[in-house]
Chains A and B, each alone.
Chain A
Amino acid sequence: MNLGPVLAGRRVVVVCGAGGVGKTTVSAALALGLAAEGRRVAVVTIDPARRLATALGMAGLSDEPRRVDPAAARDAGLDMRGELWALQLDPKATFDRLVTRYAPSPEARDRILANRIYRHFSGTVAGAQEYMAVERLHELVDEERFECVVLDTPPAQNALDFLDAPERMGRFIEGKGLRLLLAPQTKAGRLGWKALHAGSSMVLSLLERLTGGQLLRDVSEFLQSFDGMYAGFRDRAAAVRTLLLSEEARFLVVTGPEPEPVAEAVMLWDHLAHDRYPVAAVVVNRVHPLPPEGDPDPAALAAALTAAGAGDGAHLAGAALESLQDARTVGRRDHDDVAEIRRTLDDPPLATVPALPDDPVELAGLARVTRELVTA
């Protein structure tokens, strides 16, 4: 199936799915295809293979877009009529930028950036990576430098984490209950907390007993330093959500032909559809093609191989027949799995990418995937 028409004119393409199914490859290949068709495209990826990063011109870690050499794309057999830009998500850098933008004062900014908790965990905290992907997406769309942004979602424990990230992040930054609790020295804090919960000092002393005072103080300082930033975060989260729910966006669900990723893809599809995200198509990656029907006569095959110079034609024929048998088993399994997705999701728009002999980690390999996705 050609995904080109499905994605035509969209400003955002979100590529999601279980870990290890090839989201990064599919994202990069799609972006390459959209750019070849004449659009100015940015692909935001996470952790590309090194050679893929090199092929995309991102050899040095950077979360600033870099242009993929059009000559290289041409060498890979693609008529590049637009522009392809690529960048690698750096959650820490994005978080720092956000803090810099929304901190109410330079002092507040420095305090956050220097906080021990922030420094230790800003790359990993409560879905920060997922959130930062959303955040970077928003920045890029806002800049209006690109006609289309393709987002490769981070490997999450649960593919749905990505959608909840802005909300979780908002809750985290807000941390209202805790801040009131931890700021008993201020009058507002004391009163506010008293009104909220009678057992407050008890909760505080319990937490203190468990964590030691200093850790609690660090966490509290960390949260307090976000004071005044919450509104900014909340507005951004809302804006991103609006964008992702709009006609300008399209979601693709990537899966491999295997029970777990398929189950996750089905769940993800249903969830996206239920929440009215514009989910457009399923991509089944790495499907082993089914060899044509009909097994050769072993004796004839052995004779042919002997004629071609085999020392032991019968042995080689046996090995060849085993390989054919394997290819059939695997091909049939994948075929059944694809049929299962079609049935479960009631025949959705679906594209398959064959299992290529080599990992598509160079532009030429990527271009093969591109052809399966946007020109097939």
Chain B
Amino acid sequence: MTGPPLLDRRLCFVLGKGGVGKSTVAAALGLLGARAGRRTLLVEVAARRRLSRLFAGAAIGADRPTELAPGLFGLSIEAERAMEEYLDMQLKVRPLVDLLVKSRAFHSFAAAAPGLPELVTLGKIWELATHVEDGRPVWDVLVVDLPATGHGIALLEVAGRVHELAASGPIREQSAKIAEVVGHPAATGIAVVARPEELAVTEATEAVAALREKGLPAAVAVMNGVCARRFTPEDVPVLEAALAATPDGAAATAVRAALAHAHRERREQGQSAQLAEGVDLPVVELPELITARMDLDGVGILAGALGASPAVAPAGTRVAG
């Protein structure tokens, strides 16, 4: 493992295939950071309201951080708003900003300059991560819930790309600074989330390879939604024999459920092995929670599971899982 535990890095990104549980894992990481006494900011970039739902509907603000739990704050970043903030910061003169924002030319530039929305979004994240007040950083940890793999990687690598493209000007310098932080394993860590399913594991493996190739610090892989370990391989023939003896009725229903579970366990072990081999990173397994709805209690349980991993928990805070 290169680099400190994930939550000892100021910038933690959560990446993965659509629907694998990125937002849930991001929320759990945020909660874990806050529990460890870190001032933690949970950031969502493509306003999907999932985080709000997890935190009992606390509307996550776009203009200022909302407190979601003790020590845990949430912020939603929108590209358009981030763009205006960026211009404000650069030009420092409001009428100039208004002039730009109102001009059609600027909008076609914004639409044509590829990667600009990503750049201002990442720039905003960087700004939050490096923001200092009264001599100390405002946030100890930022946990960023990224959009699904392709779009997520595009966001992570945008600073490096723009730096290559821009020969001069503030944009070049700024993107260089951002790229340096985002590429540095002491400052940034990326958690790649998968589920024990072929597509998700393949996508996670490819994502990690892509991150390595682009010099972006993948820190840990998370296998989310792993079913409970209940059966041994020896149980399977017993269950099959019981089903053959009594193929109908309530007992058979229970035995069928048991067999389905046992098979799933076996399949998932295969997927876990494949993930571990494919990503060559520490892998943290998170249990599938069987509830009608994921809620804050559920996120708390997942935070506990993440906290048991030395690759994730801040140094000195790991609790035996």
Contact = CB atoms under 8 A, between A and B. Distances in A.
B242 A304 contact: yes
Interface in A282-337: 291-292, 294-297, 300-301, 304-305, 307-310, 316-317, 319-324, 326-327, 329-330, 332-333, 336
Nearest to A208: B169
A330 B109 contact: no
Contact of A207 (B46, B106, B115, B250): B106
A181 B167 CA distance: 21
A349 B164 CA distance: 51
Contact of B112 (A206, A223, A297, A307): A223
Contacts of B151: 155, 157
Interface residues of A, number: 87
B114 A117 contact: yes
Contacts of A327: 257, 260
Contacts of B96: 202, 206
A96 interface: no
A177 B108 CA distance: 7
Contacts, number: 231
The dominant DSSP class at the A interface is: helix
B99 A203 contact: yes
A155 B257 contact: no
B251 interface: yes
A309 B237 contact: yes
Given A18-B18, A308-B239, A329-B292, A260 B48 contact: yes
B58 interface: no
A223 B198 CA distance: 41
A19 interface: yes
Interface residues of B, number: 75
Contacts of B199: 49, 359, 361
B260 A199 contact: no
B235 interface: yes
A219 interface: yes
Given A51-B198, A206-B96, A175 B267 contact: no
A187 interface: no
B105 A219 contact: no
A120 B103 contact: no
A157 B147 contact: yes
A155 B103 contact: no
B211 to A, nearest CB: 16
B165 A176 contact: no
A210 B250 contact: no
Interface in A179-195: 179-181
A137 B276 CA distance: 38
Given A203-B106, A327-B257, A178 B112 contact: yes
B113 interface: yes
A304 B99 contact: no
A292 B253 contact: yes
Interface stretch (A54-62, A121-129, A229-237): A121-129
A97 interface: no
Given A212-B166, A214-B169, 10 more contacts: A117-B165, A172-B108, A175-B108, A178-B105, A206-B100, A211-B171, A214-B167, A309-B238, A316-B239, A323-B230
19 contacts: A19-B19, A20-B19, A49-B202, A120-B165, A157-B46, A158-B46, A172-B112, A180-B105, A200-B105, A206-B96, A207-B105, A210-B171, A213-B169, A215-B169, A291-B253, A296-B249, A310-B235, A322-B228, A323-B260
